[in-house]
Amino acid sequence: MALHANHPRELTPAARAACARIVDAGIPPELAGEKKLAGYVNPVEVLSRIGVKAEEVRHLILTHIHWDHSSGVGLFPNATVYVQEDEFNFAIKDPIARRPAFAATADPKSKDYIASLERTKRMILVKGDREILPGIECLLAPGHTVALQAVAVKTRRGTAIVGSDCAHTFQNYREDWPSCLIVDLIGWMKSYDKLRKKASSPDLLFPGHDSLMSSNYPEVAKDVTRLV
């Protein structure tokens, strides 16, 4: 998902470079092929439709280390990667993360790539809440994973939250009922309260996997909608 993506006709090259920051990395074509994902679109291709080249992406916030959010990290070779330190330590280093129930949501190849970034200039391990760029704040929101981070973005309508898989759908939030994949239910409740409070209005808290985000918002390019 591109956070600061305007219609290509509105972008000068300088503005495009300045806006090259994304939340989550999508899935690389090889893994999509292995998993036979129907309707797959390469995130590099999607970004190109709004005038952003993958190599121009300078900041990549990983909300959590599940294959459908983080396996495309290698597609963005010039990006600094932001991930919560506790998420990194668990997913990359903890032997429990290699057991089947956790391994099912992991992609070993991209985990190796993420591991290789540790202690390089390309990785920033975030501890808790932190404004990483003007108007863009990472918010620790555990529950779905050990240390998922949501992203608060200052917009013309107020603070919007890219909640990632804190909830998979708007319905999860509406019904105060999480998706089935939860490592800490009480932690999830507290994270939900925190994100709801931080968002300027309930409709500015976005889930991670809801097709309504494609169908109910204006399309600025094929498969790309403007949420705020």
Q: Where on the chain is the footprint of Zn ion (CB under 5 A)?
A: 66, 165
Asked whether 2 and 50 are in contact (CB, 8 A), the reply is yes
Question: Helix, strand, or coil here: 113?
Answer: helix
- 176 burial via Cβ count (<10 Å: 0-12, 13-18, 19+): exposed
Give the sign of the dihedral formed by CA 178, CA 179, CA 185, CA 187: negative
Tell the smallest beta-carbon distance from residue 87 to Zn ion (Å): 11
Nearer to Zn ion, 19 or 188 (CB): 188
Query: How far is it, in rounded angstroms, from Cα 187 to Cα 185?
Result: 5
Nearer to Zn ion, 71 or 80 (CB): 71
Q: Which residue has the tokens 């099912």?
A: 104
Nearer to Zn ion, 104 or 186 (CB): 104
Question: Which residue pairs, CB below 8 angstroms and at least 24 apart, start in 29-33?
Answer: 31/67, 31/71, 31/107, 31/109, 31/110
Tell the smallest beta-carbon distance from residue 148 to Zn ion (Å): 7
Tell the smallest beta-carbon distance from residue 14 to Zn ion (Å): 35
Tell the smallest beta-carbon distance from residue 65 to Zn ion (Å): 9
Amino acid of residue 60: L
Nearer to Zn ion, 59 or 66 (CB): 66
Amino acid of residue 50: I
Q: What token pair was written down for 227?
A: 């949420």
Nearer to Zn ion, 4 or 105 (CB): 105
Question: Helix, strand, or coil here: 88?
Answer: helix
Query: How far is it, in rounded angstroms, from Cα 154 to Cα 145?
Result: 25
| Residue 153: its H or E element | strand 149-155
Tell the smallest beta-carbon distance from residue 195 to Zn ion (Å): 15
Q: What token pair was written down for 123?
A: 């990785």
Nearer to Zn ion, 4 or 66 (CB): 66
Tell the smallest beta-carbon distance from residue 165 to Zn ion (Å): 4
